[in-house]
């Protein structure tokens, strides 16, 4: 919802009836999962350019 609809964390929490902290945790875990999958396919990510 944040990525495809551009909703804020607050908007997602309200529309789903979830606490804000839960929404933030879900988003964080999803991003970590994506990072893990990408690094498994392409090797370690170089963070020196951040």
Distance separating alpha carbons of residues 48 and 7, to the nearest angstrom: 30
Tell me which DSSP letter residue 45 carries.
-
Give the distance, in angstroms, between the CA of residue 46 and the centroid of all CA atoms in the same chain. Answer: 19
Angle at alpha carbon of residue 29, lines to 17 and 8, rounded to 5°: 45
pLDDT for 43 equals 63
Which residues in the chain land under pLDDT 70? Answer: 41-50
pLDDT for 42 equals 67
């Amino acid at each position: 919802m944040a990525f495809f609809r551009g909703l804020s964390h607050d908007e997602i929490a309200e529309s789903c009836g979830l606490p804000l902290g839960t929404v933030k945790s879900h988003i964080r875990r999803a991003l970590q999962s994506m990072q893990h999958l990408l690094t498994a396919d392409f090797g370690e990510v170089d963070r020196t350019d951040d």
